[in-house]
Amino acid sequence: MAMLPRPFDIAALVELLSDAPIVTILGARQVGKTTLARALAPHFPEVHHFDLEDPEDLARLAVPKQALSPLRGLIVIDEVQRQPELFPLLRVLADRIEPGARFLLLGSASLDLVRGASESLAGRVAFMELGGFGLADVGVESSQTLWLRGGLPRAFLARDDASSYRWRGDYIQSVLERDLPALGLRLPADAMRRFWTMLAHYHGQAWNGSELGRAMGVPDAKVRQHLDVLVGTFLVRRLEPWFTNDAKRVVKSPKVYVADTGLLHRLLQLRTHADLTAHPKVGASWEGFCIEAIARRLGARRDELWTWGLHSGAELDLFAKRGTQRLGFEVKLTDAPRVTPSMRSALAALKLDRLYVVHAGAHSFPMEDGIQALALSRLLVDLEPW
Ligand SMILES: Nc1ncnc2c1ncn2[C@@H]1O[C@H](COP(=O)(O)OP(=O)(O)O)[C@@H](O)[C@H]1O
Ligand SMILES: [Mg+2]
């Protein structure tokens, strides 16, 4: 399979590594973390790679302090969630490290899921979240394939739709049977699969834990825990609700999205474009696809993105806020977007600098004061990164 270079991610990573003694790349399984780390080799005089899922590498790290302290150059510790015991040592090494030695940690679970990680590394670590391929990697001319198959490199680059579909099935299985249990989370694989599949049916909707709990026959708290696991392993995006002044009228549920549309489509058993366009979730799927694309284009962290809605009906798919910048996005799978009263309410209530109506047509154009139609095909041209 051909390699797709990821120059933007490499540049971002090199910059982070020039500032911080420890950089952590977090992202779902198979998004390309290890491959990206290996692509850094030309930027460092020497590179040491330890994969904590490889028994030989584990043996080399049997006495971690002895193994790690003399090393210089780039020291990569892969699948770091496997050994949270290493974090206190890394912290010590980071504090006394000589210039010229850098740690790059790769992990497929957020640090909240890994016991003790956040505390030991606080303040010393720069983070980068890596997703699969995005529009900038594959080019907008491939956006239909990216939408159907998703951005996991192997799924996107597969020979044809059928083999991509098969690969995604195997991926889901190995996450359920191998990766989640390896995090020490005792969750039965079949219950977790049912839950993930139900989430696919809720994709783009307000999260209703009690309803899912009833459907699965488990308590709300358990359902919440399942959700935290899928969010923490970057498989599901949860948009928390933004509270405006009229808190009583604000819808308080988060919205959930299966983060990768390829996995969404596999869970919904949509094999082809024809399957996808005939399915009732096609609009929600496209919405999730656009939200990922926007998040990536802006360079927004997860905690900079929100959803917003009022019980009276006004709502906004995505509210992106950094410092004083406030952008709104409403996603419509149409090529003739129109301004709605709900958009005007969102513009005013959230004091947006601008509201973009992201649509499937060919052109971006102003619609009215503060509201702009943004063609997804023009996203990389018409939306400025933060
Ligand atoms: N930029 C890329 N171009 C082509 N294939 C890639 C790219 N990045 C990753 N892959 C392939 O995707 C798979 C997963 O990549 P890997 O780096 O192992 O992911 P991770 O470390 O996040 O689990 C591997 O088979 C790898 O060869
Ligand atoms: Mg890896």
Compute the distance between CA of residue 44 and CA of residue 284 in angstroms, rounded to an integer. Answer: 44
Residue with the bigger pLDDT between 217 and 38: it is: 38
Residue nearest to atom 16 of ligand 1 (CA): 32
pLDDT band, residue 98 (cuts 50/70/90): low
Binding site membership of 297 for ligand 1 (Cβ less than 6 Å): no
Binding site membership of 107 for ligand 1 (Cβ less than 6 Å): no
Q: Looking at the CA of 52, which ligand is closest?
A: 2
Helix or strand run (H / E) with residue 25: strand 22-26
pLDDT band, residue 370 (cuts 50/70/90): very high
Pairing type for strands 365-368 and 371-375 reads antiparallel
Binding site membership of 334 for ligand 1 (Cβ less than 6 Å): no
| The predicted structure's pLDDT at residue 84 | 84
pLDDT band, residue 116 (cuts 50/70/90): low
Which range is least confidently modeled, 94-103, 171-180, 295-304? 94-103
Binding site membership of 29 for ligand 1 (Cβ less than 6 Å): yes
CA distances, 237 to each of 211, 242, 254, 286, 383 (Å):
19, 15, 10, 14, 22
Binding site membership of 132 for ligand 1 (Cβ less than 6 Å): no
Per-residue pLDDT tens digits for 198-227 = 999 999 999 999 999 998 888 988 899 899
Mutation probe of ligand 1 site: the residue of 3, 26, 35 with most atoms within 8 A of C-beta: 35
pTM: 0.96
CB-CB contact of 170 with 164 (8 Å): no
- CATH node for 7-129: 3.40.50.300
Per-residue pLDDT tens digits for 222-262 = 899 899 999 999 999 999 999 987 777 898 899 999 999 99
Domain positions in the chain? 7-129, 137-382
In the structure, ligand 2 is a single-atom ion and the residues with CB under 5 Å from it are: 33-34
Ligand 1, residue 4: give the atom nearest the CA. 3
Q: Looking at the CA of 26, which ligand is closest?
A: 1
pLDDT band, residue 90 (cuts 50/70/90): confident
Torsion, CA 318, CA 321, CA 322, CA 327, rounded to 10? 80
Compute the distance between CA of residue 311 and CA of residue 227 in angstroms, rounded to an integer. Answer: 24
pLDDT band, residue 87 (cuts 50/70/90): confident
Ligand 1, residue 38: give the atom nearest the CA. 17
365 forms beta bridges with 373
Q: Is the pLDDT of residue 99 over 80?
A: no
Residue nearest to atom 13 of ligand 1 (CA): 30
Q: Is the pLDDT of residue 97 over 60?
A: no
